[in-house]
Protein backbone atom coordinates (compact mmCIF):
# COMPACT_ATOMS: atom_id res chain seq x y z
CA UNK A 1 0.00 0.00 0.00
CA UNK A 2 1.48 3.38 -1.04
CA UNK A 3 -0.12 5.38 1.81
CA UNK A 4 2.21 4.25 4.61
CA UNK A 5 5.46 5.14 2.78
CA UNK A 6 3.95 8.50 1.79
CA UNK A 7 3.05 9.27 5.41
CA UNK A 8 6.52 8.26 6.57
CA UNK A 9 8.11 10.55 3.97
CA UNK A 10 5.97 13.52 5.00
CA UNK A 11 6.74 12.95 8.68
CA UNK A 12 10.47 12.86 7.99
CA UNK A 13 10.36 15.93 5.78
CA UNK A 14 8.01 18.19 7.74
CA UNK A 15 7.86 16.77 11.27
CA UNK A 16 5.70 14.20 13.01
CA UNK A 17 2.87 16.63 13.92
CA UNK A 18 2.16 17.74 10.33
CA UNK A 19 0.22 14.61 9.34
CA UNK A 20 -1.75 12.75 11.98
CA UNK A 21 -4.90 10.68 12.34
CA UNK A 22 -8.13 12.62 12.25
CA UNK A 23 -9.69 10.65 15.13
CA UNK A 24 -9.14 12.43 18.46
CA UNK A 25 -6.91 10.77 21.01
CA UNK A 26 -8.76 8.91 23.73
CA UNK A 27 -9.26 11.14 26.76
CA UNK A 28 -8.01 10.13 30.16
CA UNK A 29 -10.46 10.31 33.04
CA UNK A 30 -9.86 11.72 36.50
CA UNK A 31 -11.46 9.10 38.75
CA UNK A 32 -14.31 10.19 41.00
CA UNK A 33 -13.55 7.37 43.41
CA UNK A 34 -16.91 5.70 42.69
CA UNK A 35 -16.90 2.98 40.05
CA UNK A 36 -20.58 3.38 39.19
CA UNK A 37 -20.10 7.09 38.43
CA UNK A 38 -16.84 6.58 36.54
CA UNK A 39 -18.56 3.95 34.42
CA UNK A 40 -21.09 6.32 32.82
CA UNK A 41 -18.74 9.15 31.79
CA UNK A 42 -17.14 7.48 28.78
CA UNK A 43 -13.58 7.86 30.06
CA UNK A 44 -13.67 6.32 33.55
CA UNK A 45 -13.91 9.64 35.36
CA UNK A 46 -14.12 13.35 34.60
CA UNK A 47 -12.40 13.99 31.25
CA UNK A 48 -8.98 15.58 31.71
CA UNK A 49 -8.26 18.62 29.56
CA UNK A 50 -12.00 19.24 29.16
CA UNK A 51 -14.87 20.99 30.96
CA UNK A 52 -17.58 18.99 32.74
CA UNK A 53 -20.73 20.23 34.41
CA UNK A 54 -23.01 19.10 37.24
CA UNK A 55 -26.53 20.47 37.07
CA UNK A 56 -29.76 19.88 38.95
CA UNK A 57 -32.69 21.47 40.71
CA UNK A 58 -32.27 22.75 44.29
CA UNK A 59 -31.87 19.81 46.72
CA UNK A 60 -30.90 17.50 43.84
CA UNK A 61 -27.44 16.93 45.33
CA UNK A 62 -25.54 18.43 42.38
CA UNK A 63 -23.63 20.99 44.43
CA UNK A 64 -22.71 18.57 47.22
CA UNK A 65 -21.62 16.04 44.60
CA UNK A 66 -19.18 18.66 43.34
CA UNK A 67 -17.82 19.15 46.87
CA UNK A 68 -17.42 15.38 47.30
CA UNK A 69 -15.49 15.12 44.03
CA UNK A 70 -13.26 18.03 45.06
CA UNK A 71 -12.54 16.27 48.36
CA UNK A 72 -11.73 13.01 46.59
CA UNK A 73 -9.28 14.63 44.18
CA UNK A 74 -7.63 16.77 46.88
CA UNK A 75 -6.40 13.68 48.67
CA UNK A 76 -4.01 12.97 45.79
CA UNK A 77 -3.76 16.14 43.64
CA UNK A 78 -4.19 19.93 43.98
CA UNK A 79 -7.69 21.35 43.56
CA UNK A 80 -8.48 24.96 42.54
CA UNK A 81 -11.89 26.40 43.44
CA UNK A 82 -12.81 29.68 41.69
CA UNK A 83 -15.83 31.01 43.56
CA UNK A 84 -17.59 33.82 41.65
CA UNK A 85 -20.49 33.77 44.15
CA UNK A 86 -18.39 34.31 47.30
CA UNK A 87 -20.43 31.62 49.02
CA UNK A 88 -18.23 28.51 49.14
CA UNK A 89 -16.04 27.81 52.16
CA UNK A 90 -13.01 25.50 52.34
CA UNK A 91 -14.61 23.77 55.30
CA UNK A 92 -17.32 22.48 52.95
CA UNK A 93 -14.65 20.39 51.21
CA UNK A 94 -12.84 19.43 54.41
CA UNK A 95 -16.11 18.11 55.86
CA UNK A 96 -16.18 15.51 53.08
CA UNK A 97 -12.67 14.36 53.89
CA UNK A 98 -10.75 16.73 51.64
CA UNK A 99 -7.16 17.83 52.24
CA UNK A 100 -7.21 21.61 52.64
CA UNK A 101 -3.44 21.80 52.21
CA UNK A 102 -4.12 20.69 48.63
CA UNK A 103 -7.00 23.12 47.97
CA UNK A 104 -6.67 26.65 46.59
CA UNK A 105 -9.62 29.04 46.88
CA UNK A 106 -9.95 32.03 44.52
CA UNK A 107 -12.47 34.78 45.33
CA UNK A 108 -12.15 37.31 42.51
CA UNK A 109 -13.25 40.92 42.85
CA UNK A 110 -14.11 41.00 39.14
CA UNK A 111 -15.06 38.15 36.76
CA UNK A 112 -11.99 38.73 34.56
CA UNK A 113 -9.76 38.03 37.57
CA UNK A 114 -11.53 34.73 38.22
CA UNK A 115 -11.17 33.49 34.65
CA UNK A 116 -7.51 34.55 34.61
CA UNK A 117 -6.80 32.71 37.86
CA UNK A 118 -8.56 29.59 36.56
CA UNK A 119 -6.41 29.60 33.41
CA UNK A 120 -3.19 30.11 35.36
CA UNK A 121 -3.91 27.30 37.83
CA UNK A 122 -5.07 24.95 35.07
CA UNK A 123 -1.83 25.50 33.15
CA UNK A 124 0.12 24.94 36.36
CA UNK A 125 -1.31 21.41 36.52
CA UNK A 126 -3.94 21.30 39.29
CA UNK A 127 -5.82 18.03 39.23
CA UNK A 128 -9.20 19.73 39.12
CA UNK A 129 -10.33 23.31 38.51
CA UNK A 130 -13.85 24.04 39.78
CA UNK A 131 -15.78 27.17 38.86
CA UNK A 132 -18.87 28.15 40.86
CA UNK A 133 -21.44 30.84 39.97
CA UNK A 134 -25.15 31.48 40.32
CA UNK A 135 -25.62 33.41 37.07
CA UNK A 136 -23.10 32.59 34.35
CA UNK A 137 -24.54 35.09 31.88
CA UNK A 138 -23.30 38.00 33.99
CA UNK A 139 -19.68 36.87 34.33
CA UNK A 140 -18.90 35.00 31.09
CA UNK A 141 -17.21 36.92 28.31
CA UNK A 142 -17.19 35.32 24.86
CA UNK A 143 -13.49 34.38 24.82
CA UNK A 144 -13.09 33.27 28.45
CA UNK A 145 -14.42 29.67 28.13
CA UNK A 146 -12.33 28.93 25.03
CA UNK A 147 -9.19 30.26 26.73
CA UNK A 148 -9.90 28.16 29.82
CA UNK A 149 -10.39 25.04 27.69
CA UNK A 150 -7.00 25.63 26.06
CA UNK A 151 -5.39 26.02 29.48
CA UNK A 152 -7.03 22.82 30.76
CA UNK A 153 -5.72 20.92 27.74
CA UNK A 154 -2.22 22.29 28.28
CA UNK A 155 -2.12 21.35 31.95
CA UNK A 156 -4.24 18.16 31.61
CA UNK A 157 -6.58 19.32 34.37
CA UNK A 158 -10.26 18.41 34.67
CA UNK A 159 -12.56 21.44 34.64
CA UNK A 160 -15.88 21.36 36.52
CA UNK A 161 -18.70 23.94 36.38
CA UNK A 162 -21.20 24.19 39.25
CA UNK A 163 -24.28 26.34 39.78
CA UNK A 164 -26.79 28.04 37.57
CA UNK A 165 -29.45 26.41 35.42
CA UNK A 166 -28.61 28.17 32.14
CA UNK A 167 -25.21 28.63 30.54
CA UNK A 168 -24.36 31.18 27.83
CA UNK A 169 -23.57 29.59 24.49
CA UNK A 170 -19.87 30.47 24.75
CA UNK A 171 -19.56 28.25 27.82
CA UNK A 172 -22.14 25.57 27.01
CA UNK A 173 -20.50 24.77 23.68
CA UNK A 174 -17.26 23.95 25.52
CA UNK A 175 -18.87 21.52 27.97
CA UNK A 176 -17.66 18.03 27.10
CA UNK A 177 -19.67 16.14 29.73
CA UNK A 178 -22.84 17.20 31.53
CA UNK A 179 -24.36 15.19 34.36
CA UNK A 180 -27.87 15.99 35.52
CA UNK A 181 -28.56 15.10 39.15
CA UNK A 182 -31.96 14.12 40.51
CA UNK A 183 -32.84 13.41 44.12
CA UNK A 184 -34.60 10.08 44.63
CA UNK A 185 -35.15 10.28 48.38
CA UNK A 186 -33.68 11.56 51.61
CA UNK A 187 -31.72 9.34 53.98
CA UNK A 188 -32.75 9.70 57.62
CA UNK A 189 -31.00 8.93 60.92
CA UNK A 190 -32.87 9.46 64.21
CA UNK A 191 -35.41 11.44 62.24
CA UNK A 192 -32.83 13.87 60.84
CA UNK A 193 -31.73 14.13 57.21
CA UNK A 194 -28.23 12.68 56.97
CA UNK A 195 -27.93 12.33 53.20
CA UNK A 196 -29.78 11.51 50.03
CA UNK A 197 -30.09 8.96 47.30
CA UNK A 198 -29.70 10.42 43.87
CA UNK A 199 -29.48 9.60 40.19
CA UNK A 200 -26.81 11.04 37.89
CA UNK A 201 -27.63 10.96 34.17
CA UNK A 202 -25.46 11.93 31.21
CA UNK A 203 -27.38 14.63 29.30
CA UNK A 204 -24.52 15.90 27.12
CA UNK A 205 -21.34 14.13 26.06
CA UNK A 206 -18.61 14.39 23.44
CA UNK A 207 -17.38 10.93 24.46
CA UNK A 208 -20.39 8.66 24.04
CA UNK A 209 -24.13 8.72 23.49
CA UNK A 210 -26.02 10.51 26.29
CA UNK A 211 -28.47 8.67 28.49
CA UNK A 212 -26.19 6.56 30.70
CA UNK A 213 -27.10 6.82 34.37
CA UNK A 214 -26.21 5.54 37.80
CA UNK A 215 -27.62 5.79 41.30
CA UNK A 216 -25.64 7.04 44.27
CA UNK A 217 -25.92 7.54 48.01
CA UNK A 218 -24.45 10.81 49.25
CA UNK A 219 -23.98 11.05 53.02
CA UNK A 220 -23.75 14.54 54.49
CA UNK A 221 -21.24 15.46 57.22
CA UNK A 222 -23.25 14.75 60.39
CA UNK A 223 -22.53 13.96 64.05
CA UNK A 224 -23.56 10.34 63.51
CA UNK A 225 -21.39 7.26 62.93
CA UNK A 226 -21.91 7.56 59.18
CA UNK A 227 -18.96 8.32 56.93
CA UNK A 228 -19.61 11.42 54.85
CA UNK A 229 -19.08 10.86 51.18
CA UNK A 230 -20.36 9.03 48.14
CA UNK A 231 -21.03 5.39 47.29
CA UNK A 232 -22.70 3.73 44.35
CA UNK A 233 -26.08 2.04 44.70
CA UNK A 234 -26.96 -1.13 42.85
CA UNK A 235 -30.39 -1.11 41.21
CA UNK A 236 -31.60 -3.84 43.52
CA UNK A 237 -30.64 -1.78 46.59
CA UNK A 238 -32.68 1.17 45.36
CA UNK A 239 -35.64 -1.02 44.46
CA UNK A 240 -35.53 -2.68 47.90
CA UNK A 241 -35.39 0.67 49.70
CA UNK A 242 -38.26 2.07 47.66
CA UNK A 243 -40.28 -1.07 48.36
CA UNK A 244 -39.75 -0.68 52.11
CA UNK A 245 -40.84 2.95 51.93
CA UNK A 246 -44.04 2.00 50.08
CA UNK A 247 -44.78 -0.69 52.67
CA UNK A 248 -44.23 1.75 55.54
CA UNK A 249 -46.53 4.29 53.88
CA UNK A 250 -49.34 1.77 53.30
CA UNK A 251 -49.22 0.57 56.94
CA UNK A 252 -49.90 4.05 58.34
What was the pLDDT predicted at 244? 45
What was the pLDDT predicted at 24? 53
What was the pLDDT predicted at 19? 72
What was the pLDDT predicted at 234? 79
What was the pLDDT predicted at 4? 81
Asked whether 158 and 50 are in contact (CB, 8 A), the reply is yes
Burial class (CB in 10 A: 0-12, 13-18, 19+), 97: middle
What was the pLDDT predicted at 251? 44
Q: How far apart are CA 90 and CA 218, in angstroms?
A: 19
* Phi/psi of residue 210, nearest 5 degrees: -70, 165
Q: How far apart are the first and last CA of the chain?
A: 77
For the chain, list the domains and their CATH numbers.
27-180 (3.40.50.300)
What was the pLDDT predicted at 225? 60
Residue range 16-48, pLDDT digits in tens: 666 766 545 567 999 999 999 999 999 999 999
CA distances to 30, 34, 54, 129 from 46, in Å? 5, 11, 11, 11
Residues contacting residue 234 through CB under 8 Å, at least 6 positions apart: 215
The angle at the Cα of 116, spanning 112 to 117, to the nearest 5 degrees, equals: 120
Asked whether 82 and 118 are in contact (CB, 8 A), the reply is yes
pTM of the predicted model as reported, rounded to 2 decimal places: 0.84
Helix (H, G, I), strand (E, B) or coil at 87: coil
Ranges of the chain whose pLDDT falls below 50: 23, 244-252
Amino acid sequence: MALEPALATLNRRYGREVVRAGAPARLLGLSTGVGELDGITGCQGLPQGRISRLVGEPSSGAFDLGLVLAAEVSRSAPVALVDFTLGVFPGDIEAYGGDLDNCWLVRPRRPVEGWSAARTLAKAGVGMCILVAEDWSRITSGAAPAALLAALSEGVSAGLVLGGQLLPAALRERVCLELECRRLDWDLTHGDVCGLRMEARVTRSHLSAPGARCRLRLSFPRPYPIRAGLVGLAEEEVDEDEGLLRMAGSSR
